[in-house]
Amino acid sequence: MQNQRFVHLDFKGIAPCFDKVHEWLLFLKGCGFSGIVFEFDCRVRWKTWPLAGMPVYSPQEAAAMVADAEKLGFETIPLMQIQGHLEWILGEKAYAGLRENGKLTLCPSSQEARKKLAMWMCELREIFPHSRYIHLGADEVDTIGECPNCRKKLQQVGRFGIYMENTALFCKKALAMGFRPLIWADMILQEQKIQLDTSLPPETILVNWQYCGSGPFHGMESLQKSGFEVWGASSIKSFWHEHPRMLLNYPQDRLINVAGWNQFEGNVIHTFWGRPGNKGCLYPPWPMSVPVFIAAGNPDCWRKHPWHDKYQKFGDCLRRNNPPEIQDMIRELDTWPCTSTEEKECVTYLQLGLRYELLFARYCSCRFSQCATDASIPFVGKNPSVYHEHFCIQKEKIQEELDILMEELADFFTRNGLIGKEEFIAEKRSIFLL
Ligand SMILES: [Zn+2]
């Protein structure tokens, strides 16, 4: 079962409502992926965590999605977390007792925490009755060994020892439940503990996520020497610095990364993130990434795709951020041939995203000019009519256009059955301090 290409779907951000998931599964099948990693995170009404999350799917609906994916021929993998990235649970007062020294990382010494995680794994087994693998996350654990119980262990086994004891424990529990465990490899790479003289079961698979560049990817060689099976992970969508002020991401970075990982002789998970973390602001909706899904699922198909060169040009235009060129690109997008609803909605979204870029550029120009002009007033005085025209009237016009654009964005969300509409619109409005 080598050279499988999985797509990871992170539901914690914007995601399709239950009724729209089937269409996405069909689209992803058409892209050529062989499996799906489902990270339901805070979006399922878990029996284990009744007092946390922002649920939109019942456990029955989650199980129906998984069954549907399997019917279409996908291998399915659940993803849960066992130490870090549980802020959506630990942020709730009801679960404060599970925190590591009051911080939003799980305390691995807490018996209650272990019991809850085991319950959660059982719940996942019910939703994924046929899955051969489970992904236990275990990445980016930032708080280790701070509570009184963990501090004692810290002296004996160190940070990595505490981390690894918990990770190994849940890898073993997964095996006992018939799941082969996967974990992200960043903690192992960070601690440079590749020669793992630990209790980690030999069946454990290390997943090396590297979201920049085209390879050779950091850590691959040393991880492969460890004797454990190693998979790679690209990113179809993950953090970029300008993300809070944009509706779009820079496509080339993503295309280069997924193409680089598709060269890898082994299994790859193409990740698709919903937010930078549980408490971070939203990444854009799924339709934006249609071309990168195609490129990740089947590089040959993407090479021959009528959008291949056009999308490069689009990416260059976005990077240059030159308003007249963006205006032309908005018109040019009308001519892109679309053979599916997903492609059609992608084009619509790219146009909305470019219009937002134009508006943001106008806003910055107006705001910064006003700041500098205000600073110059004590030196040169004020021309009230010009000031009013350039700043007050201009801001009113920007506000009107922003209202129209946000209404169209809301329609886009409604038409595509996407969750997260109110939050995304609030975020994208928030940067305009009009
Ligand atoms: Zn602790």
d(CA 278, CA 383): 48
- For 203, the token pair is 């069946």
Separation of 103 CA from ligand 1 center, angstroms? 10
In the chain, the domains with their CATH numbers are: 5-303 (3.20.20.80), 308-430 (no CATH)
Separation of 377 CA from ligand 1 center, angstroms? 58
Q: What is the pLDDT of residues 315-353, one digit of tens each?
A: 999 999 999 999 999 999 999 999 999 999 999 999 999
Separation of 184 CA from ligand 1 center, angstroms? 21
State the pLDDT at residue 434.
Answer: 86
Report the pLDDT averaged over residues 260-276.
97
pLDDT tops 90 at residue 2: no
- For 382, the token pair is 């004020």
In degrees rounded to 5, what are phi and psi of residue 143? -115, 115
State the pLDDT at residue 287.
Answer: 98
State the pLDDT at residue 191.
Answer: 80
State the pLDDT at residue 1.
Answer: 57
Picking from 173, 248, 188, 246, the residue whose alpha carbon sits closest to that of residue 219 is 188
Contacts 24+ apart (CB under 8 A), 50-53: 51/92, 51/94, 51/95, 52/88, 52/89, 52/91, 52/92, 52/94, 52/95, 53/88, 53/89
Instruction: Give whole-number Cα distances, 124 to 26, 394, 418, in Å.
Output: 23, 54, 24
State the pLDDT at residue 194.
Answer: 57
pLDDT tops 70 at residue 225: yes
Q: What is the pLDDT of residues 133-173, one digit of tens each?
A: 999 999 999 999 999 999 999 999 999 999 999 999 999 99
This prediction's pTM: 0.97
Separation of 102 CA from ligand 1 center, angstroms? 9
Q: What is the pLDDT of residues 60-79, one digit of tens each?
A: 999 999 999 999 999 999 99
Confidence of residue 24 (pLDDT cuts 50, 70, 90): very high
Beta strands 180-184 and 133-135: pairing type?
parallel
Separation of 254 CA from ligand 1 center, angstroms? 37
* Residue 245, CB-side half-sphere exposure with 13 Å CA sphere: 12
Rounding to the nearest 10 degrees, give the CA dihedral for residues 149, 150, 151, 157.
130
Separation of 136 CA from ligand 1 center, angstroms? 19
Separation of 398 CA from ligand 1 center, angstroms? 51
Separation of 144 CA from ligand 1 center, angstroms? 7
CB-based contacts of 268, cutoff 8 Å, min separation 6: 4, 5, 6, 231, 232, 233, 234, 261, 262
Separation of 281 CA from ligand 1 center, angstroms? 28
| Cβ proximity of 31 and 298 under 8 Å | yes
d(CA 382, CA 278): 47
Q: Which of 125-139, 161-175, 185-199, 405-419 has the lowest mean pLDDT?
A: 185-199
Beta strands 418-419 and 99-100: pairing type?
unpaired
Separation of 169 CA from ligand 1 center, angstroms? 15
Mean pLDDT over each residue of the chain, to the nearest integer: 96
pLDDT tops 70 at residue 196: no
Instruction: Give whole-number Cα distances, 50 to 43, 94, 119, 197, in Å.
Output: 12, 10, 12, 38
d(CA 397, CA 365): 14
